[in-house]
Amino acid sequence: MFNETYQSLINFWYEHGDPRAQDFFILRSPFPVLWLIAIYIVICKLVLPAIFKGKKYQWPRYALVVTYIIQLGNCFFVIFYGTYLMVQLKFNLRCEPLIPSFDGYYYEYAKCINIWLLIKNLEMLESFLVYLLYGVVPRFIFIHHIFFPLFLTYFIHFYLGGSPLMFGLFHSLDHAFNYIFIALRMYSDEYRKKSDSWFKKYQFLSSVVSMIATVIFFMQLETRPDCDYTIFKYASTLFFMVFLVLTVYYRAKNFVNAKKKKQALFENNNNETHYQIVPKAGRFDPT
């Protein structure tokens, strides 16, 4: 029973996947990304706590800045080169049909998505550096770096080209500014304190805009039968929508917490203000 189910899933993977995926290691089989995620979990939950035991260091702060700069470059790569390929293939923004061709720009289109995916998966390093910096990996970051690579790899395997590149563009536009501000906040404590409130607000609003744009884009695909999407699209899109909603919830929670923290700090400062009588003036003078 198990062997039959396993074999049917493997057959489905190879029969319905984009044939160009066989040229790229992480997309060729369903297992490389699973091994990557397993290694990630072991390092986060077993190796780092056993070796460093919650100790905090300052050098990962600058390593994180480098990591965010690399991801920022990846965002610009997919935005500019992906748009260039779409123009060369005469695709419009509403629908980029799935053409699994190995010729010219069609193959470059697939390579563009694969390169973006590989560099995007390097974002897992963020969890390791955050642990060394703060002594803990936040739950959302940990979960994000498990499910996002899994979803993205499987989704791209079946749609290596076509409209999924638009998801890369939406995602990169949302994250490009995030990486810039996060790198600045990580590099400078003074900048982080000054920007904490508005940055959380920006993160929340940008994630909402990104979610709405992505939902509208995938919904309008239903009016374009020439896009050639199958029922698998609905399952992957549903998973993606759930992930986006959780991201918006997390950022909204951060935004609300930042406002509460600011209000609590303001009230605390007011409570600590004391008054002294100044005999000559005959009044209370706050100090």
The b/e string for 255-268 (b: 16+ C-beta within 10 A; e otherwise) is: beebeeeeeeeeee
Q: Are 150 and 41 in contact (CB under 8 A)?
A: no
pLDDT digits (tens, 9 = 90+) for 233-257: 555 566 666 666 666 666 666 666 6
Segment 131-136 shows an average pLDDT of 89
Residue 85: exposure state from Cβ atoms within 10 A (0-12, 13-18, ≥19): buried
pLDDT digits (tens, 9 = 90+) for 267-286: 665 555 443 434 444 433 33
pLDDT confidence band for 195 (50 / 70 / 90):
low
The three-state secondary structure class of 9 is helix
Of the two residues 27 and 205, the one the predictor is more confident about is 27
Task: Report phi then psi at 283, rounded to 5.
Answer: -145, 170
pLDDT for the residue 274: 42
The three-state secondary structure class of 285 is strand
pTM of the model: 0.75
Q: How many CB atoms lie within 10 A of CB 124?
A: 21
The b/e string for 6-29 (b: 16+ C-beta within 10 A; e otherwise) is: eeeeeeebeeebbebbeebebbeb
pLDDT digits (tens, 9 = 90+) for 63-103: 988 999 999 999 899 889 988 888 888 876 666 667 778 88
DSSP 237-284: HHHHHHHHHHHHHHHHHHHHHHHHHHHHHHHHHHHH--EEEETTTTEE
Q: Are 73 and 179 in contact (CB under 8 A)?
A: no
Q: Give the highest mean pLDDT range of 43-47, 101-105, 161-165, 191-195.
A: 43-47
